[in-house]
């Protein structure tokens, strides 16, 4: 370190006891005793060239010059909180590259440093600690386990708060805890991290994981949606549009009190993501990489033996009444396949095996961060290349982020967060589910290609199948999207007066998509004859291109004032304004006839059939918000929030609404009868808190038509009277509802936070959340003949409990001396009840009805399988069915002796009974290990079509159908086999046969790391080197059949698989 010249004038304000602070500065200049400290730099008042006093204003101006730093040797000892020496602690001088040492066996160290230096202590599993010397030559540094300290600062809406002072239910997650998992999607990384936060990854499709995030149940059933508001550095964004490595921390605002400051968009909770900023000091270069092999977690077994397939095919068809021999495999053909030796001519094609293969996925991140006292920066580059486990699925992502902050002068700090992401997505054009469906909807009797490379339709005309996926993939019939997300933020933070600050941020977020959908003309041939059969079904042939642009602007500004009286009464007040404006536009074009399959641009297509499309919409939101907090000695805490929101989506008379919230907390452990009582020494902290607030939701029919309150006419399509020209049709499409307004969610929350025995932390919350005025399409009679408008009508209640526990400790002696470990877990459950819906609505397999969970299962109950004709004769008549032995027995629920739709009953499982996660971590010497289990209990899914119904589109049945009911094999679990969609109603009715238990517990992640000894690394100029291996979705315990139980909702059984990941990586810091 060289001598630093500081020659600027600093105007100081005197606090009591002669402590002096800079009026504007964020880097305080504290003067105590004989030393002043400006940021990291120590200044002895003796170096002040001049000082002037202004007693009237309690101000004193120092002029500093020529600070010569003395070199001095510091001797010290590093211990943990129990006083045990820590060996191997890295000790460096803040802002220097070369000076540093490591503590020895006794925790002792000795280091010669410039006077005024700040020492940085780092040790795995412990909080980084910075120590400034105040004259002592020998210091003892006590390091704290990396526990969620009460002094920890938590990000809340428009600011931060000490965790101890929180009155609402807020959970926070560190970025590093998320990025342990080797997945590429930041949202998926939140899984199992926060109680009450349900994260369901829909599938493992690269770049399109379909992660659903629900906080505290399902509040609304309207199109306004249940997605929590997600803010990235204070501006609405999408967790998917982020490099996970850029995340510093995530705060989840769970109750109304903490979310109400976001008012109209916070009804589903708020997730605040803060990205990493640079820290003053030495420039750090950080590179990490992660190389992974992805395989499907589970895939079912299909019958791949052609002869078995053909026999079952015939049996199913005959059972379904299609016994025309021309639609069945002749026995001679079956025998040919059974006995063949030429498997090219008589194949047993395993179609899934062709398309599912391990995928090699890589991630790289390079970061440079650091800065001076005045300016700090964090620059990061990220790259992900993720092919899918299914052929032709690919995702690639580039991220660049620059977070820059600068202390311009003693009162003004400015900064910018700039992020650009570019993603490339490729998938077969019909999407993931259809690709899987098509791949399996084939008979094993033929191969995808003829020996000469031509693509096959099928072997026999009566076979039923879906698209030849290999033809789709080889001919690049892909949907491709090149998307850009650009997020520019600039802000300033001005210290206007002691305690009074002014923060303003402006942001522009641009989301551009450049989509292309190519459907070539590909002839398919008969496998046996080689004759032309049909053209590949890719939908309408041709090329569609679409560009979309979404531009979102957000400006917000707030004043915050903090005041403390007599060290006991602490007030803060905050008031702000926010404006949001969103514009969306798209433009698309299409041409049908292409002469070459090589050229994929519109102009390369024929002009005969070409269409274009384009439209747009916009909305705006304007808000005033504020917060008042008061606490008495951090013992009794009160907070009130309000937001006053106006939305363009409502009629001007009903546009504005107020969303208030109140919360209070009592830190019982601060009371003298606890704090001063030795029998309560085990109780480190106890806080009881409660809150109530109202939140809103304004996402009225967000999709394309945000103006439901207006009486509107649509372009309904054209008609030609003369068969030559088209005339335009215009008609009213939707009945207007001028009175449409906000959905409101009122929530009570009571919580307890405890810390016991210096290591056990516990947080418990109970909540009740009532969503009312739910925007739903009114149950309009068909007589009106128009689409139903949204009205504020429905009500839903969610009641739930959440518990989170963490225990951390360190082994003080013995062989495992120095071993740190922690174990934690969280569990939550909620009950969802529709309290007001209107007339019940029965769907395919669900019912929407007052007093029941939303969209509860409503099914016939299957009560076994008929074994004999006598049994059938004695049983209630099953509809008008021709019931036979081997068919499902439907239970006569109302006892009227006949089975019909009135025997459908409610069945549970649409929402899980509870979900839970357990995590643990251990670090010892150079090793670290972490483990995460995650589970969902009591969730059921109604499954249909491929994979559960045999022979849908000719799809090979799963091998369990080999055990189907036959006269020779009177199964009690597998019914008689029927043929796909031609199965008679007696099999295909919505019944509990198709309702499957999707509960699971899985080893979500296991990570083992090894950090190379810093002493050895120091010699080669490396700060840190960690190697790790991480596995994801390694083990699963479930009763779910065949595929992965972790998926979106009910419906088609087929979903793109989840990934089991084995990865290896390293992290190196220079």
Interface residues for another protein in 622-661 (CB under 8 A)?
Answer: 622, 646-648, 652, 655
- Within 8 A by CB and 6+ apart from 150, the residues are 162, 163, 164, 685, 755
Which residues in the 482-511 window bind another protein by CB under 8 A?
494, 496-497, 502, 504
One of 49, 712, 869, 1035 touching another protein (CB under 8 A): 712
Contact by Cβ (8 Å): 642, 659 = yes
Exposure string over 360-396, b if 16+ CB within 10 A, otherwise e: ebbbbbebbbbbebebbbbbbbbebbbbbbbbbbbbb
Our CB check for another protein shows the closer of 144 and 985 to be: 985
The DSSP-derived string for 770-829 is EEEEEEEE----GGG-SBPPEEEEEEEEEEEEEEEEEEEEE--SSTTTT-EEEEEEEEEE
Asked if residues 652 and 626 have their Cβ atoms less than 8 Å apart, the reply is: no
Q: In sequence order, what are the residues at sequence separation of 6 or more whose Cβ sits closer than 8 angstroms to the Cβ of residue 639?
A: 167, 168, 257, 627, 628, 629, 630, 662, 663, 664
What residues between 85 and 124 interact with another protein by CB under 8 A?
Answer: none
Q: Rounded to an integer, what distance in angstroms lies between the CA atom of residue 686 and that of residue 5?
A: 48
Task: Count CB-CB contacts under 10 A for residue 715.
Answer: 10
**What is each CA distance from 914 to 800, 827, 898, 908, 911, in whole angstroms?**
10, 7, 37, 13, 9
For residues 466 and 1058, which CB has a smaller minimum distance to another protein in the complex?
A: 466
Give the one residue of 360, 595, 682, 981 binding another protein; rule: CB under 8 A. Answer: 981
Q: Does the protein bind another protein through residue 687 (CB under 8 A)? A: no
| Shortest Å distance, C-beta 664 to another protein | 32
Contacts of 841 (CB under 8 A, 6+ apart): 779, 847, 848, 849
Within residues 514-543, the interface with another protein by CB under 8 A covers 519, 533-535, 537-542
Q: Is 618 in the site for another protein (CB under 8 A)?
A: yes
Is the Cβ of residue 130 or residue 597 nearer to another protein in the bound state?
A: 597
Site size for another protein (CB under 8 A):
103
Q: HEC states along 473-512?
A: HHCCCEEEEEEEEEEEEEEEEEEEECCEEEEEEEEEEEEE
Q: Is 597 in the site for another protein (CB under 8 A)?
A: no
Residues 546-575 close enough to bind another protein by CB under 8 A:
555, 557, 559
- Select from 52, 54, 716, 868 the one that contacts another protein (CB under 8 A): 716
Q: Does 579 bind another protein (CB under 8 A)?
A: yes
Report 736-765 residues binding another protein (CB under 8 A).
736-737
Tell me if residue 568 falls in helix, strand or coil.
coil
What sign results for the dihedral spanned by CA atoms 211, 214, 217, 222? negative
Kindly state the smallest distance separating residue 429's Cβ from another protein, in Å: 12
Question: Could you say whether residue 711 binds another protein (CB under 8 A)?
Answer: yes
Q: How far is the CB of 541 from another protein (least distance, A)?
A: 5
Closest contact distance (angstroms) between CB of 532 and another protein is 9
What x-and-dash track marks residues 400-419 binding another protein by CB under 8 A?
Answer: -----------xx-------
284, 414, 735, 752: which one contacts another protein (CB under 8 A)?
A: 735
765 or 887: whose CB is closer to another protein? 887
Choose among 995, 1003, 1005, 992: nearest CA to 939.
Answer: 995
Compare residues 314 and 380 and give the one whose CB is closer to another protein: 314
Q: How near is the Cβ of 722 to another protein at its closest, in Å?
A: 5
Residue ranges in 322-351 that form contacts with another protein under rule CB under 8 A: 322, 324, 326-327
Start-to-end CA distance of the chain, whole Å, equals 18
When the beta carbons of 679 and 727 are compared against another protein, the nearer one is 727
Q: How far apart are CA 899 and CA 892, in angstroms?
A: 6
Whichever of 737 and 945 has its CB closer to another protein, that residue is 737
| Phi, psi for residue 153 in degrees, rounded to 5 | -100, 135
The tokens for 717 are: 């399509």
Site for another protein in 462-481 (CB under 8 A): 462, 464
Nearer to another protein, 713 or 1037 (CB): 713
Instruction: Pick between residue 332 and residue 728 the one whose CB is nearest to another protein.
Output: 728
Q: Which stretch binds another protein (CB under 8 A): 53-61, 329-337, 699-707, 1057-1065?
A: 699-707
Q: Measured from the CB of residue 876, what is the shortest distance to another protein in angstroms?
A: 16
Tell which one of 341, 703, 728, 813 touches another protein (CB under 8 A): 728
In whole angstroms, what is the distance from residue 927 CA to residue 1011 CA?
6
Q: Is 985 in the site for another protein (CB under 8 A)?
A: yes
Site for another protein in 419-458 (CB under 8 A): 457
β-partners of residue 425 are 395, 481
Give dist(CA 616, CA 633) in Å, integer: 54
**Would you say 32 or 616 has its CB closer to another protein?**
616
Which residues 766-825 are close enough to bind another protein by CB under 8 A?
Answer: 778-786, 789, 791
702 binds another protein (CB under 8 A): no
Smallest separation (angstroms) from another protein to the CB of 715: 8
CB of 268 to another protein, least distance (A): 22
By CB under 8 A, residue 544 contacts another protein: no
Cβ distance to another protein smaller for residue 722 or 967: 722
The span from the CA of 503 to the CA of 687, in Å, is: 31
User: Is 887 or 1044 the residue whose CB approaches another protein more closely?
Assistant: 887
**Footprint of another protein on residues 20-79 (CB under 8 A)?**
none
Pairing label, strands 841-842, 820-836: unpaired
Cβ nearer to another protein, comparing 127 with 504: 504
Contact status: 897 vs another protein (CB under 8 A): no
Question: Rounded CA gap, 516 and 908, in Å?
Answer: 42
Could you give the angle at which helices 331-339 and 306-319 cross, rounded to 10 degrees? 160
**Which C-beta is closer to another protein: that of 83 or that of 523?**
523
Task: Identify the burial level of 648 via C-beta atoms within 10 angstroms of its C-beta, where 0-12 means exposed, 13-18 middle and 19 or more buried.
Answer: middle
Distance separating alpha carbons of residues 693 and 263, to the nearest angstrom: 10
């Amino acid at each position: 370190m060289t001598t630093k010249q500081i020659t600027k004038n600093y105007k100081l304000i005197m606090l009591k006891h002669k402590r002096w602070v800079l009026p504007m500065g964020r880097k305080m200049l504290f003067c105590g005793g004989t030393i002043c400290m400006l940021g990291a730099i120590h200044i002895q008042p003796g170096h002040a060239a001049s000082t002037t006093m202004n007693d009237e204003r309690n101000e004193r101006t120092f002029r500093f010059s020529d600070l010569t730093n003395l070199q001095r040797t510091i001797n010290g000892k590093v211990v943990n909180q129990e006083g045990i020496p820590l060996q191997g602690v890295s000790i460096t001088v803040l802002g220097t590259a070369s000076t540093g040492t490591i503590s020895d066996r006794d925790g002792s160290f000795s280091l010669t440093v410039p006077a005024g230096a700040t020492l940085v202590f780092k040790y795995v599993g412990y909080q980084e600690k910075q120590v400034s010397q105040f004259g002592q030559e020998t210091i003892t540094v006590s390091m704290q386990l990396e526990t969620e300290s009460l002094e920890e600062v938590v990000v809340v809406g428009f600011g931060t708060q000490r965790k101890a002072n929180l009155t609402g239910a807020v959970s926070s997650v560190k970025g590093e805890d998320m990025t342990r998992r080797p997945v590429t999607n930041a949202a998926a990384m939140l899984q199992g991290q926060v109680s009450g936060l349900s994260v369901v990854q829909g599938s493992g499709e690269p770049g399109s994981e379909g992660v659903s995030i629900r906080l505290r149940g399902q509040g609304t059933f309207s199109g306004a949606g249940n997605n929590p508001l997600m803010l990235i550095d204070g501006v609405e964004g999408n967790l998917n549009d982020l490099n996970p490595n850029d995340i510093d921390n995530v705060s989840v605002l769970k109750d109304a009190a903490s979310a109400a400051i976001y008012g109209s968009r916070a009804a589903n909770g708020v997730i605040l993501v803060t990205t990493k900023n640079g820290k003053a000091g030495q420039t750090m270069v950080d590179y990490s990489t992660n190389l992974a092999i992805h395989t499907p977690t589970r895939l079912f077994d299909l019958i791949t033996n052609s002869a078995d397939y053909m026999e079952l095919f015939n049996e199913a068809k005959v059972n379904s009444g299609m016994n025309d021999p021309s639609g069945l495999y002749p026995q001679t053909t079956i025998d040919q396949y059974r006995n063949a030796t030429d498997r090219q001519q008589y194949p047993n094609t395993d179609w899934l095996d062709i398309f599912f293969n391990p995928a090699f996925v890589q991630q790289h991140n390079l970061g440079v961060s650091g800065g001076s006292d005045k300016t700090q920066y964090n620059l990061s580059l990220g790259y992900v290349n993720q092919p899918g486990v299914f052929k032709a699925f690919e995702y690639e992502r580039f991220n660049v982020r620059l977070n820059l902050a600068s202390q311009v002068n003693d009162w003004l700090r400015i900064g910018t967060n700039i992020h650009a992401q570019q993603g490339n997505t490729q998938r077969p054009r019909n999407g993931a589910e259809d690709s899987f469906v098509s791949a399996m909807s084939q008979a094993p009797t033929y191969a995808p290609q003829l020996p000469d490379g031509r693509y096959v339709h099928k072997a026999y005309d009566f076979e039923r199948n879906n698209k030849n996926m290999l033809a789709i993939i080889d001919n690049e019939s892909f949907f491709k999207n090149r998307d850009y997300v650009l997020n520019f933020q600039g802000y300033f933070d001005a210290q206007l007066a002691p305690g009074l600050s002014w923060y303003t941020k402006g942001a522009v977020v641009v989301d551009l998509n450049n989509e292309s959908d190519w459907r070539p003309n590909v002839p398919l041939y008969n496998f046996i004859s080689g004759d032309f059969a049909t053209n590949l079904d890719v939908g309408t042939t041709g090329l569609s291109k679409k560009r979309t642009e979404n531009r979102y602007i957000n400006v917000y500004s707030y004043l915050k004032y903090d005041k403390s009286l007599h060290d006991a009464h602490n007030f803060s007040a905050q008031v702000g304004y926010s404006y949001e404006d969103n514009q969306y536009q798209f433009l698309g074009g299409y041409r049908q006839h292409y002469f070459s399959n090589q050229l994929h641009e519109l102009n390369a297509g024929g002009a005969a059939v070409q269409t274009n499309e384009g439209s747009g919409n916009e909305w705006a939101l304007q808000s005033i918000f504020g917060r008042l907090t008061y606490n008495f000695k951090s013992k009794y805490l009160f907070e009130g929030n309000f937001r006053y929101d106006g939305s363009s989506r409502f009629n001007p008379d009903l546009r504005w609404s107020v969303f208030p919230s109140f919360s209070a907390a009592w830190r019982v452990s601060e009371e003298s009868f606890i704090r001063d009582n030795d029998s309560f020494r085990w109780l480190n902290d106890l806080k009881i808190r409660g809150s109530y607030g109202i939140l809103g939701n304004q996402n009225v029919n967000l999709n394309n038509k945000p103006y439901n309150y207006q009486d509107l006419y649509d372009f309904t399509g054209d008609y030609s009277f003369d068969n030559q020209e088209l005339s335009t049709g215009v008609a009213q499409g939707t009945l207007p509802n001028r009175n449409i307004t906000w959905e409101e969610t009122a929530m009570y929350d009571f919580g307890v936070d405890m810390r016991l025995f210096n290591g056990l932390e516990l947080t418990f919350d109970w909540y009740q959340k009532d969503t009312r005025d739910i925007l739903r399409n009114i149950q309009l009679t068909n007589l009106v003949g128009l689409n139903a408008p949204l009205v504020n009508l429905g009500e839903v209640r969610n009641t739930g409990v959440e518990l989170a526990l963490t225990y951390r400790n360190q082994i003080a002696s013995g062989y495992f001396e120095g071993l740190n470990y922690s174990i934690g877990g969280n569990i939550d459950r909620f009950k969802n009840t529709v309290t007001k819906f209107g007339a019940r609505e029965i769907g395919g397999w669900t019912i929407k009805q007052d007093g029941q969970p939303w969209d509860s299962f409503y099914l016939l109950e299957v009560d076994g399988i008929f074994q004999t004709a006598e049994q059938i004769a004695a049983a209630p008549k099953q509809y008008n069915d021709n019931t036979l032995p081997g068919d499902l027995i439907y239970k006569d629920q109302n006892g009227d002796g006949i089975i019909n739709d009135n025997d459908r009953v409610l069945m549970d499982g649409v929402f899980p009974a509870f979900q839970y996660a357990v995590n643990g971590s251990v670090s010892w010497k150079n090793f670290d290990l972490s483990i995460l289990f995650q589970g969902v209990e009591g969730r059921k899914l109604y499954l249909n079509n491929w994979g559960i119904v045999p022979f849908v589109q000719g799809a090979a049945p799963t091998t369990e159908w080999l055990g189907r009911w036959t006269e020779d094999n009177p199964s009690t679990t597998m019914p008689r086999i029927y043929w796909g969609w031609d199965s008679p109603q007696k099999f295909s009715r919505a019944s509990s046969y198709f309702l499957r238990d999707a509960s699971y517990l899985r080893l979500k992640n296991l990570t083992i790391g090894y950090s190379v000894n810093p002493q050895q690394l120091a010699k080669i100029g490396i700060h840190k080197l960690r190697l790790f291996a991480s596995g994801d979705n390694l083990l699963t315990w479930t009763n779910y059949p065949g595929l992965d139980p972790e998926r979106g909702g009910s419906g088609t059984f087929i979903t793109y698989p989840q990934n089991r990941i084995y990865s290896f990586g390293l992290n190196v810091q220079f």
